[in-house]
A and B are shown apart, each in its own frame.
Chain A
Amino acid sequence: MNEKILNLLNGNARISSSEIAARLEKSQQEIESAISKMEDDGIIRGYKVILNEDATNDSSVRALIEVRVTPERDGGFNNVAKRICRFPEVTDVYLVSGDYDLRVEVKGESLQDVAAFVHSKLATINGVISTATMFLLKKYKEAGKIMDGEDSYERLKIVP
């Protein structure tokens, strides 16, 4: 049941517990306590809105940064990654396979803001070998949602 609840929340985090209950043929009470439990257990870490920033007056700047790191004998990449995570301007951090090690996403007020963060904070962390910064120019799709609304077309209202 948890898996089905998570699938539904993944599709729409604002889905009501009564709708989940009706879909899965459970009581609302059961659903609410299952969700609370997953929150308490740290399975659900939070709920986030998927925004089309172009349609708001949000002028913040986002960048993806490829970070190469020297792994430590104990802990590998974990310590560096954890340090990077602490900065509030960092929104996402992943260890990845490929040419670099950590993929860091940051959000700042301006280009200068992000640039300053990278050279004065990120690049100077012990263990960071190099960084490559890519500013995000336009968002087409996030978390499964396409930003530009597709043209709706009129389906037949009555079909045998």
Chain B
Amino acid sequence: MNDSKLYRKKRLATHISELPKSGIREFFDIVNNVEDVISLGVGEPDFVTPWQICEAAIYSIEKGHTGYTSNLGLYSLRKEICKYLESDYGCSYRPDNECIVTVGVSEAFDLAIRAITNPGDEIIYFEPCYVSYNAEIRMAFGVPVALETHEENEFSIDVEAVRSKITPKTKAIILNFPCNPTGGTLNSRQMQELAALAVENNLIVLTDEIYSELTYEGRLPSIASLPGMKERCIFLHGFSKAFAMTGFRIGFACGPEDIIGTMMKIHQYSMMCASTVAQEAAEEALKNGRREMEKMREEYMQRRNLMVKGLNEAGLKCLKPKGAFYAFPSIKNTGLTSNDFAKKFLEQHKVAVIPGTAFGPCGEGYVRCCYAASVENIQEALRRMALFVESLR
């Protein structure tokens, strides 16, 4: 028995074996054993993909467009992506060598990290954050350097704190604003200071803009559009959240030619290309899907208002997030840990929320509640939340 354990240990890659299981994954297994759960634990739109996008996918199959595409992705899609980034984000990229279509932002992120990380390179990111960042950096033999964001700052960043973490080994900074799980955003002063800091220290900026379309009080131009950023910024974005296309698995990266070229090498050897059907659907989304997307955004915003009001009324202090589709209320006044809170709430009231610690240690004292759920479910969950919080007093 010991022998077989030893053997197993040897046959697996050590740096992967050492990675912890995602905190969300653990919770997933618990939730799956409870019937009739109301879930605020998802991280995807509850809308079905707008029909004209689905239709484009069906049409693509009907036309027999079922082969590979070029490694970088369909040229017509890349052209459309670059047009979109120019008009909506103020960034200009060339479709032929500064844009790559990927299997979701997930792949784009993986490619970007692997393309820029040498063993020992330090990469700064902000917690609480999306569950993959830390693991992705470690899988590329980089050193994750986490900075905390806090409720007092509306989960935004402190540029001076970033400066204090920079060492000669610092290679890049990862941004994700609007943020999963906090909904935090950056203002233009912060973006400018951060951009200046990156230029000054010759750092790469990796900006995960997957929630950028879901910004509720007006969107600022991307940090990628600021002076000096073009040659050091990797812009990651995708169709999952904005167009309710998570299952299509389609995203993209734009950036300087050398970085995109290097990402392309990995993509070429490990992925070939993104799904052709999904690429054609994505092209339709950019060409004709905006109105539907705006309708969904308006609906999310209204649900956010409902959710935030309800959480505060239930006795949990919750900021009004400016973007994404998550509320991140504080549960500190209940005296429970995030994990206990989420587990007890699930056991006693059959509502799933995600413990903040799944997104980094500083998520302790918070839970993530996704409001991309039906209003009926949100209201029922809030009603139960009020009962639960009351019972803890």
Identify the A interface with B (CB < 8 A): 19, 22-25, 155-160
Cα distance A23–B352 in the bound complex, in angstroms: 22
Residue B256 lies at the interface, judged by CB distance under 8 Å to chain A: no
- Greatest chain A CB density within 10 A among B37, B302, B310 is at B302
Q: Contacts of B24 on A, CB cut-off 8 Å?
A: 158-160
Sorted nearest first, the 6 A-B pairs with minimum C-beta distance are A23-B302, A158-B28, A157-B39, A159-B43, A158-B41, A22-B306
Contact of B310 among A22, A25, A155, A158 (CB under 8 A): A22
Ordered by A's residue number, 26 sampled pairs between the chains whose C-beta atoms are within 8 Å are A19-B306, A19-B379, A22-B305, A22-B306, A22-B309, A23-B302, A23-B303, A24-B305, A25-B309, A156-B28, A157-B28, A157-B39, A157-B352, A158-B24, A158-B27, A158-B28, A158-B31, A158-B42, A158-B352, A159-B24, A159-B42, A159-B43, A159-B44, A160-B22, A160-B24, A160-B180
A26 to B: closest C-beta gap in Å: 10
Instruction: Decide if B43 touches A157 in the complex (CB within 8 Å).
Output: no
Residue B130 lies at the interface, judged by CB distance under 8 Å to chain A: yes
Q: Is the interface of A mostly helix, strand, loop or mixed?
A: loop
Q: Contacts of B306 on A, CB cut-off 8 Å?
A: 19, 22-23
Interface range for B: 20 to 34
Cα distance A4–B103 in the bound complex, in angstroms: 36
Residue B159 lies at the interface, judged by CB distance under 8 Å to chain A: no
Given contacts A19-B375, A22-B306, A23-B303, contact A155 B46 (CB under 8 A): yes
Given contacts A19-B375, A22-B310, contact A158 B354 (CB under 8 A): yes
Instruction: Decide if B130 touches A160 in the complex (CB within 8 Å).
Output: yes
Instruction: Decide if B305 touches A25 in the complex (CB within 8 Å).
Output: yes
Cα distance A160–B104 in the bound complex, in angstroms: 14
Given contacts A23-B303, A24-B302, A24-B305, contact A157 B41 (CB under 8 A): yes
The residue in chain B whose Cβ has the minimal distance to the Cβ of A16 is B379
The residue in chain A whose Cβ has the minimal distance to the Cβ of B295 is A7
Q: Contacts of B32 on A, CB cut-off 8 Å?
A: 157
- Greatest chain B CB density within 10 A among A24, A155, A156, A158 is at A158
A2 to B: closest C-beta gap in Å: 15
Contact of A156 among B22, B42, B310 (CB under 8 A): B42
- Greatest chain B CB density within 10 A among A23, A25, A155, A160 is at A160
Cα distance A156–B372 in the bound complex, in angstroms: 13
